[in-house]
Amino acid sequence: MVVSADTIRTAVGIMGNATALVLFFSPAPTFCRIWKSRSVEQFPATPYLATLLNCMMWVLYGLPMVHPHSTLVLTINGSGLVIELIYVLVFLGCSHGDQRLRVLLVLLLEIAFVGAVGALILTLVHSHERRSLIAGVLCVIFGAAMYAAPLAAMRQVIRTRSVEFMPLPLSLASFVNGLCWTTYATIRFDLFITIPNGLGVAFAVAQLALHAVYHGSTARQKKGGRREAEIGLVKPNGRSLEEEVAKGIRVESGVISVEETNKSSMGTNKNLEV
C-alpha cells in the first residue's frame, strides 16, 4: 500500500501539534513557582511575549479568509495564544514597578499591532495569495523572533554558569516541535513555515548544548546554596550569626568587636585622663 504525501504530511502535522502543546505547557512548573513565591525572580518575560505575538500572527495566517485549509495551523496556534496569554497575565500579577509597566506596554502594543495588520489585510487586500504572502512574511519575522527570544536566557546562562533559569523541558520541547514542523513544511514545501521552524531547531540545539555544558556547575551552585543555608552562615570563629547576636557580638567589615572589649577600652581611657 502506497501512502500519499498528503497523508504523511497530515500525520506529521498532528505530531507537530502534539509537540507544540508540550512546548506551550512546558513553562507551567516555572509559572507555578512564580505564582507560589509571588515573584518573577530572574525569569525574563521576553520568551512568553514573543511566543504570544507569534501565535497571534499564525492565527491570522490560518484564518480561512487569509490562507484556506490551514486547520492544523489555526487550532494549535489558537490554543497557544490562550496558554501564553495566561502566562503573561501571571507574570504581570507577580512582577512589580517598572518591570510590570514594561510588560503591560509590550502586551498592549502586540494586541494593537496584530489587530491593525488583520484589519488592513482583510480590507485592502482582496486575494488569498496576497493575503497569505503578507501574513506569511510577518509570521516568518515574528516566528524567528520567538525562537531567538531565549538568547537573553542563554547569555545569562553563560554569565552565571547556571541553567536554573533556562528550563530543560522548554528547550527539549522547542527542539522536537521545530523538527516536526520543519518536516511538515518540507513535505509540501511551505517557505513561511520552514524558515522560522528551521531556526527554532538551531536555537534549541544551542540551548541543549548549554544544558550539557553547565548542568554540573548548576548542581554545584544549588548544593552550595543549600549548605550555606544549613550551616547558618558560620563565621571563621565557628559561631553562627544567631550565636553571635545572642552573645552580643557585632560583626562589621570582617572585624569582631565585643561589648566587654569596648568597656575595658573606656576604662583605660579614663585612667589615662586621670
Tell me what pLDDT residue 83 has: 95
Tell me what pLDDT residue 215 has: 80
Q: How far apart are CA 218 and CA 95, in angstroms?
A: 25
Percent helix, strand, coil in the chain (nearest 5)?
Answer: 75, 5, 20
Cα Rg of the chain (Å, integer): 28
In three-state secondary structure terms, 253 is coil
17 by Cβ neighbours in 10 Å (0-12 / 13-18 / 19+) ranks as buried
Q: Residue 203 is which amino acid?
A: F
Q: Which residue has the cell 568587636?
A: 257
> Could you tell me the pTM of the whole model?
0.66
Q: How far apart are CA 135 and CA 206, in angstroms?
A: 29
Tell me what pLDDT residue 259 has: 42
Beta strands in the chain (DSSP E): 249-252, 255-258
Under DSSP, the state recorded for 167 is -
CB 180, CB 204: distance < 8 Å: no
Under DSSP, the state recorded for 252 is E
Tell me what pLDDT residue 124 has: 93
Helix count and strand count (H, E) for the chain: 11, 2
CB 254, CB 245: distance < 8 Å: no
Low-confidence ranges of the chain (pLDDT < 70): 1, 149-150, 218-274
CB 54, CB 143: distance < 8 Å: yes
- Domain spans in the chain, listed from the N-terminal domain onward: 5-225
Tell me what pLDDT residue 32 has: 92
Give the relative orientation of helices 128-148 and 46-62 as an angle to the nearest 10 degrees. Answer: 160
Phi/psi at 41 (nearest 5 deg)? Answer: 50, -125
Q: Residue 83 is which amino acid?
A: I
What are 59's three cell numbers? Answer: 492565527
pLDDT one-digit tens code per residue, 112-157: 999 999 999 999 998 999 999 999 899 888 877 777 766 777 888 8
